[in-house]
Structure 1
Amino acid sequence: MPAFDLPLTELAHHRPLPEEPADFEEFWHGTLKEAAQEEVLVSVQPVETGLRLTECWDVTFRGFAGDPVRAWFSRPAGVPGPLPAVVEYAGYGRGRGLPHERLTWVNAGYAVLLMDNRGQGDQYGNGGATPDPHAQAPGGPGPMTRGLLHPRDYHYRRLITDAVRAVTAVRALPGVDASRTVAVGNSQGGGLALAVAGLVPDLAAALITAPLLCGIRRALDLTDAHPYGEISSYLSVHRGAEEAAYRTLSYVEGVSFARRAHAPAHFGVGLRDTVCPPSGAYAAFNRWAELSGADPRKEIHAYPYNGHEGGDAVHVRRQLDWLAGLFSESPA
């Protein structure tokens, strides 16, 4: 795939203001306040995985509207004391899979909560276990278009709420240093980690790679790859629904969350990424924390000849080193 978005020299200064609804903060404050009315943890059950060096639990917590959301909680076996926590969010169409799939952060010494994606899990990977009981509103069949015609009905209102509640859940689990909680994700997971950074002011850090839901309007003009292509396909049938759809999408725009972030941030992006065009990630990075009054450390790594895979394992090593350095400089 040839380069198709802005050149790197322009991406470095790409700072478009999102078309932000006047009630953006009120919308999310009300949504999260409603979700926080119930105790977060439902159950925490140990799981036999066959892994000798990792302990794992099957966690159920209350997310949007008190709905049960599943997650795997893992930590290094036999390591005493509270550990910094990584909350990891999975990609589009993927569920939490099996507990032995994602062990990088556990092997690095972190307690990890891997959140299931409600109403997803059937497109690739090894499945999920969290239904979405609120998916009846008008919209398309895929998560990207479920409830697209009204912000209160939209799938990502529910999923972002779940993501915020996952932070509350991991902080309630034993053996976790709640003051050092980190949001991590790639693609859809990166978009969720970014949203969490804008909605949880005391997050310790956010590690965001190739984020979905960033620079949405521009992405719809640049690419017809899914999942953005699902929106285009829906609007090609439902002619005249653009205004309603764009209004809904403005409530989940990653740049708006980025502007409200407080935490240090580490970004990664492939410059030939047609799934999540790089200009969206740069827009979020360049406007990071501009409304919060914070001045956190931030850095972004671009991979000029890579697509949605970005830096892959090379970038993960950069994430590991960056977060270890961040925590070594901060008192535990």
Structure 2
Amino acid sequence: MPAFDLPVTELERHRPDIEEPADFDAFWTSTLKEAGQTNALVSVRPVETGLRLTRTWDVTFRGFAGDPVRAWFSRPAEAGELLPAVVEFAGYGRGRGLPHERLTWVNAGYAHLLMDNRGQGGQYGCGGDTPDPHALAPGGPGPAVRGLLSAADYHYRRLITDAVRAVAAVRGLPGVDPARTVAVGNSQGGGLALAVAGLVPDLAAVLVTAPLLCGIRRALDLTDAGPYGEIAAYLSVHRGAEHAAYRTLSYVEGVSFARRAQAPAHFGVGLRDTVCPPSGTYAAFNRYAELTGTDPRKEIHAYPFNGHEGGDAVQVRRQLDWLEALLDGRRR
């Protein structure tokens, strides 16, 4: 697929206006206040994985509406000191899978929490273990359209709340330095990490690649691929529902979360990405932290000939180097 979005010179200064609802902050303050009324952690159970150099626990924490959300928590087996924690969010249609699937951050010396996606896990990978008991509002079968006609009922209200609660949960786990908690994700996971950065003011860093839910209105005009295609397909049948859908989506717009974030940020983007168009990533990057009165360290890496895979392992290596330098600097 050739490059289809804005030219690079325009992407680098792309700062679109966002139709942000007047009660955006009140909506999320109320949602998170309700979710935070109880202790996040429910259970922490060690599991045998066959890995000698990694210790893993099956974690359950309370997410949206107190619903139990599953996660894998892993640490290097011989680490005795408090470790920085990487909270990772999985992509669209994925669950937490099996505990030995994602070991990069543990091998780099971090504590690692991989959150399960409620009501997902049936499209890719090795499945998930967290149902979504609230998925009964009007909308389509896919997560991107569940409850689409009401912000209160929308799937991503629940999933973003779970993501924020995952940060609270990891900070209560053994051997974690709560002051060095990092949010990481690609695609949907990148959108969740960016939302966490906008809702958790003391996050140590955020690392996102090809984030979903950024520049949503433009993405719906550009692509029929992936989750945006599900939304377009739903609206093609439910004619006249656009206004309600757009209003709901404005409460989960990643650029709005990026404007409120203040943690150091590392971005990656493939310029031929038809799943999460690059203009959305650049919009979030260019408007990052603009409402916070801060000027956090941030950088973006673009891959001109890559699509949704972005920089793949090259980008991961850049993330590892960047985060190590950032956190080592904090220790000094």
Q: TM-score, normalised by structure 2?
A: 1.00
The aligned amino acid for 2:25 is: E
Q: Can you list the C-alpha shifts for 1:3-24, whole angstroms capped at 9, x where unaligned?
A: 1000111000000121000000
- Which runs of 5 or more residues in structure 1 are unaligned? none
The aligned amino acid for 1:305 is: F
Q: How many residues align?
A: 332
1:155 aligns with 2:155: yes
1:85 aligns with 2:88: no
Partner of 1:323: 323
| Corresponding residue SS for 2:214 | coil
Partner of 2:107: 107
User: 1: distance between equivalents of 2:64 and 2:293?
Assistant: 29
The aligned amino acid for 1:296 is: P
1:202-217 → structure 2 map (5 Å cutoff): 202-217=202-217
The aligned amino acid for 2:218 is: R
CA positional deviation for 1:71: 0.0
Partner of 2:69: 69
Partner of 1:127: 127
**Alignment root-mean-square deviation, CA:** 0.5
1:59 aligns with 2:59: yes
Partner of 2:235: 235
Partner of 1:292: 292
- Which runs of 5 or more residues in structure 2 are unaligned? none
Q: Can you list the C-alpha shifts for 1:220-270, whole angstroms capped at 9, x where unaligned?
A: 000000110000000000000000000000000000000000100000000
User: 1: distance between equivalents of 2:128 and 2:56?
Assistant: 17
1:1-332 → structure 2 map (5 Å cutoff): 1-331=1-331
Q: Can you list the C-alpha shifts for 1:6-48, whole angstroms capped at 9, x where unaligned?
A: 0111000000121000000000000000000011110000000
User: 1: distance between equivalents of 2:79 and 2:38?
Assistant: 31
User: 1: distance between equivalents of 2:8 and 2:76?
Assistant: 40
User: 2: distance between equivalents of 1:53 and 1:326?
Assistant: 25
Post-superposition, which runs of at least 4 consecutive aligned residues in structure 1 deviate over 3 A?
A: none
| Corresponding residue SS for 2:211 | coil
The percentage of aligned residue pairs carrying the same residue is 83
| Corresponding residue SS for 1:126 | coil
| Corresponding residue SS for 1:58 | strand
CA positional deviation for 1:107: 0.2
User: 2: distance between equivalents of 1:328 and 1:150?
Assistant: 44
User: 1: distance between equivalents of 2:5 and 2:56?
Assistant: 42
User: 2: distance between equivalents of 1:72 and 1:287?
Assistant: 33
User: 2: distance between equivalents of 1:327 and 1:237?
Assistant: 49
CA positional deviation for 1:331: 2.5
User: 2: distance between equivalents of 1:18 and 1:106?
Assistant: 37
User: 2: distance between equivalents of 1:265 and 1:15?
Assistant: 17
CA positional deviation for 1:293: 1.2
| Corresponding residue SS for 1:252 | coil
Q: Can you list the C-alpha shifts for 1:185-234, whole angstroms capped at 9, x where unaligned?
A: 00000000000000000000000000000000000000000110000000
User: 1: distance between equivalents of 2:7 and 2:116?
Assistant: 36
